Structures are given as C-alpha cells and as structure tokens.
Amino acid sequence: MRRYKPEGALVLAAFFFGVTFPLVHDALGDIEPFAYLLLRFAIAVLVLGPFGVVIARRGSAEERRLLIRAGLVAGVLLMGGYATQTIGLETTSPSTSAFITGLYVVFTPLVEGVVRRKAPPVGVLIGIAFATVGLYLLTGADLAFGPGEIWTLACAVLFAVWIVFQGEYAQRIHPIPYTTVQMIVVVVLCVPGTAAQGIGHLTGLAIFAVAFTGIACSSFALSLQLYGQKHIAASRAALILLIEPVFAAMAGYVNGERLGVVELAGAGVILVGIVIAELGPGREQVPHPELVEPHPF
C-alpha cells in the first residue's frame, strides 16, 4: 500500500477540493470572490505558516533562496488561475466554467512535454481523452465561446503551467514551506481585488466556508498535492486530480442535487480514464531527486 501513497495523497486532495464545492458556491452568494480567497488563504497561512517557518529554517541559505524564488513564481501562477477563473465566471455558467477549467488535464502533458522534451506516456494520453469526454458529460457544458470562456481557458492553461512548475521543484523543496510561500503570494495579490470588490456580507455560512476551506483545502490538500507531485509526473497528477468534479457531484447529491444518467456516465468515464492512465502502458514515476536536472521556466 505504501507504493500508492502519492496517488492516495492526490485523491485525498481532490476529495477536499471537490466536496467543498457546494459549500463555496453557497457562500459566494454572501461574500465577494476576492475577499473569500484573501480570507481563506490568510487563515491557511496562519495554520501552516509556523510549521513552514520551522522547516525552512532547518535548510541551508541556498535552499531558502530556492524556496522563495520557486514559491513566488508558483504563487503568482496559482493566483493567476484563480483570478482568470473568477473573471470568467462573471459571464459564463458554472458548468461551462467547470468543464473548461478541467481542461488543464489536457494542457498539463503538453506543457510537461515542452519542458521535458518528451512525449507523455500512451496510457496517460488515452486516459486524458476519456477523462475529457467524461468531464463534458458530467458538467453538461455549453461549447459556445465568448469572453468568459476565453478567460476560463486562460485559467486552465495557468493551472497546467502551475502544476508542471511546482512539480519541477517539489522534489527539492519541502511541501509545507513551499505551500506556505505560495499562499502568502495569493493573499498579497488578493488585496487589490478585495479593495475593488469589497468584502460583501460575512454571514455564518461565509465564515464557516472561509475557515473550513482555508484549513482543509489550502493548508492540508495543497500540501498533499505537493507531496504527491514529488513522486508522480505532472501529467498523471493532473489526471488524478480530475476526480475532483466526481467528488463535487457526490457532495451535491448529499446537498440535494440529483444527477441524471448522462452525468453519472460522465463520472464513470472520468474514473475509467484515471484507471487507464494508472494501469496502462508507459506508467511513469518521477525519478529520484538526485537524478532530476532542473528545467528552465
């Protein structure tokens, strides 16, 4: 079972990302998006930050400089993904946004292939094709493209670059301080958006959503994702993370939403795609850190 710990970490991260979707969706009816992100990640910094500082101090000065450089860039990419997704949601439906955002699973192996100058494994490519079809069926997306869809497509590209980028450094930087630096960047970059939008209404639901997702998703799940990416290639990691909308659909069912036959079939096809990638030909692990050569970004 220890062999599958990285995969398990990614599945657990996707679980927290997915099951909190209905909670966040309801809370955003009270609190403004950028205020939600600022408060969520600020709480995460307060929870994870002390551990990140202690761990970072154990490393050398060179390791801390690498942590700051990589963390700043990864944090900007992460915030860019959230910002473009938020802008896109203003003029596109949630289902279309979910589908287009999920296309990061298509862009990730393309970015990884350019960086590593190596084509993704055949099993991963087949799994991506299945998962993309399943995602479309699950979300019932409308393929009409307008400004909102273009912004959301930019979000998918940024998330793909973020996954590959942080994966390149995940083996050389401890996940807790690495996550902490990224979250600090997100908090700082959310300040202008919050100043422009305002806070909204800090209802009990909004406060609970901010606190719960700050601890469960930003502190815990993002650290789990980084741990998983220490051992799994970015394209496979992205595909495993695509199980998030399946968990979101399960949470929606508990919340009173009911999926039709097409949506259920879509969830099943996503799972089939993940299984193909995990058990199919060319299953790739990340090499040992001492054998990894840094790639320019």
Query: Could you tell me the pLDDT band of residue 82, with boundaries at 50, 70 and 90?
Result: confident
Cα 142 vs. chain centroid, distance in angstroms?
23
CB 240 within 8 A of CB 98: no
Mean pLDDT of 122-145: 77
CB 152 within 8 A of CB 107: no
Q: Does residue 179 have a pLDDT over 60?
A: yes
Query: Could you tell me the pLDDT band of residue 293, with boundaries at 50, 70 and 90?
Result: very low
Mean pLDDT of 77-100: 80
pTM, entire model: 0.80
pLDDT at 212 (0 to 100):
93
List C-alpha distances in Å: 183 to 31, 149, 177: 20, 26, 10
Query: Could you tell me the pLDDT band of residue 207, with boundaries at 50, 70 and 90?
Result: very high
Question: Where is pLDDT greater, at 231 or 25?
Answer: 231
Cα 169 vs. chain centroid, distance in angstroms?
16
Give the separation between CA 120 and CA 126, rounded to whole angstroms: 10
DSSP state of 280: S
pLDDT (tens digit per residue) in 11-62: 999 888 888 877 887 888 899 989 999 999 999 999 999 999 999 999 888 9
Q: Which two tokens stand for residue 4?
A: 């599958």
Give the separation between CA 229 and CA 242, rounded to whole angstroms: 14
3-state secondary structure of 31: strand
Burial of 205 (0-12, 13-18, 19+ CB in 10 A): middle
Query: Could you tell me the pLDDT band of residue 247, with boundaries at 50, 70 and 90?
Result: confident
Give the separation between CA 214 and CA 40, rounded to whole angstroms: 4
pLDDT at 281 (0 to 100):
56
Question: Where is pLDDT greater, at 69 or 120?
Answer: 69
Burial of 57 (0-12, 13-18, 19+ CB in 10 A): exposed
Q: Does residue 270 have a pLDDT over 90?
A: no
Give the separation between CA 280 and CA 131, rounded to whole angstroms: 14
Mean pLDDT of 231-240: 83
